Structure 1
Amino acid sequence: MIVKNEAKMIDRCLNSVNGIVNEIIIVDTGSTDSTKEIGENHGARIYPYQWSNNFSEARNYGLSYATGDWILWLDADEELDETDKNNLPKILGDTKANILALPVLNYHGLTEPVDKNHLFLIYQPRLFRNHLSIKFINRIHENVHLPENIDQFIENISVSIHHYGYLKQITDEKHKGRRNLRLLEIELSEPSHSPWIEYHIASEYYRNNQYEKAFMYVNQAIVAFIQKGLMPPSLLYKLKYAILIETNSLDGAWPSIEKAILLYPDYVDLHFYKGYILYEKKEYVESLESFEKCLELGENNTKYLILKGVGTFKAWHYKGLCLEHLGRTAEAQAAFECEENSLLY
């Protein structure tokens, strides 16, 4: 873990790994509250670290002290799912993979308690074998990097991580947007920087409701990937059309979203955006088809960042609205009942 002034959050995080991990390594970058004391109460080893505006360097510093066979990395505003975590010992004993991806539930909204239906789900590599020279890369939004001689296969497992760091109260208190933009601008100044930097800058502006800047940077990211001969990742198109919908720029979103769907035909969020755009344009028959496609795809595709509900209750809701507009009242009522039932799970 990397921490600084996490006294409000860290106890919950460390409680969630109690009985699961054999050692806790905390890299502290200058806490002035009781973070270090709380960590020590959980048996953690605390290593002071001079912050260098580089998350990967700090994480790799922590790795240098790890002695166990496996590394689990978390942030203080996260916790392992109470039920799922008990499956970890068996999973680690059985797997042949060197790296495991866990589903991270990113909650959004104002503050806690969270609404369990307000989240984005994405699988991220959070567990990997130690002593294989696996390191972190990137100044911010750090990723696990596997040496070329290491098997690159990543196994997905169903041990969830709950992440609360995108709640508005937390981002405001920690000035995360300002910090992230500062680090991203440093990366942007590097001539060989990855197009992911433009995407992450766009995301920060989007979260701050600065949609014009967000749209400019996400388009720059798309172009940069294409110029490198790479297909722009699905996240870029998800963000682009989220911005267009948020700004009610339906003419800019339709029919160009069809091209994004051709690239990622199994991405439920893009089909949901298409359905919403068509619904707002009063094209109810075509909109209905899109929401039925969402229900067919569901929300279990581990390749994508998925907004909870786009393959279940949100899709049922809009399907019901479309059916109402088409005069199919009984079918609409059945769709709304399915919406209610899916909210229960």
Structure 2
Amino acid sequence: MKTSALAAGSLVLPWESALSAIQSQMAGKGRLQLRYRAYTLQLKHAFTLSTSSRTTTPVVLTELEYNGVIGYGEASMPPYLGESHESVLKFLSKVDLSRFDDPFQMENILAYVDGIEEANKAAKASVDIALHDLVGKLIKQPWYKIWGFDPAKTPNTSFTIGIDTPEVIRQKVREADPYRMLKVKLGRDTDKLLINNIREITDKPICVDVNQGWTDKQMALDMAHWLKEKGIVFIEQPMPKEKLDDNAWLTQHSPLPTMGDEAVQRLDDVLKAYQVYSGINIKLMKSTGMREAHKMLVLARSLKMKVMIGCMTETSCAVTAAAHLAPMADWADLDGALLISNDVYKGMQVVNGKVTLTDRPGIGIQKI
């Protein structure tokens, strides 16, 4: 690309000039074609939270083609999202992208997809991710470069350990040896026992995810002080998301940062979370994809909130897409593909515990 230049008194960035040229060349020369199929992820261990346990996760894999170039996307549906194979396939059957002859009109395309029906966030994310992958490939640049992020600034990713027996917990901690931070699921009456079991094995930094499992604010504060003594870094979604006042009170008094997860789905929720939590956990399956996740990131940073980039149990497709936001995050929890045994893509790698992006264009994945 050429160096940036002043034109008509305004600064034109290099990638904007390249994008304009490519867009002019391709406009009207093709149609967007959407394909999709159901798939089921097999988890290496039972994934147990404060309120549920499962060994599989339903996903839908999407492909978006334009002039022979294919972008890949994914919808992952953990139970609390309220989506399923059936609901996602039904939604995607209503998406008619043949009306668009210019994939670079991303705002128009994704606004159309968002307006088809309410909810269906993971289904919408599967189109959004595929479109970002496609456009990045057409520009021949990865999205972290298009956004202007420095890939060297990605954080370490945590490795998630669900609620389980002491023996299985120890096994999971040993499996997590390459990772520099652990994420531990809490929210039951065995919380202290679980943390003590892990601390017998490792002194690595730990973050905890309560998944709304604590119901009393004073008990939550007492736990926060105890967890601080155990070397915990932050607490994710400590109490039910409906308890705004209790969560705000805990955040005000807690010695540890609190992060909103279930309480923070889309862009409008960021302002609602301000001063209720110390920060937010952004996930593509909640935000409807990369477009809105990027907006959430920018808004949270402008409010000086902490930011975590997270994921569901997903293939390397959605996890890698989320990783492009990681250079601007305080923490990352991008281990979703590491928890499954039947990934179908290769993408973002974890090197010495650190989220490591490639320079492949789009979201940067390859089929296995």
Shorter-chain TM-score bucket reads: under 0.3
Higher share in helix: 1
TM-score (normalised: structure 2): 0.27
TM-score of the aligned structures, taking structure 1 as reference length: 0.28
Give the number of the structure whose residues are more often strand, by fraction: 2
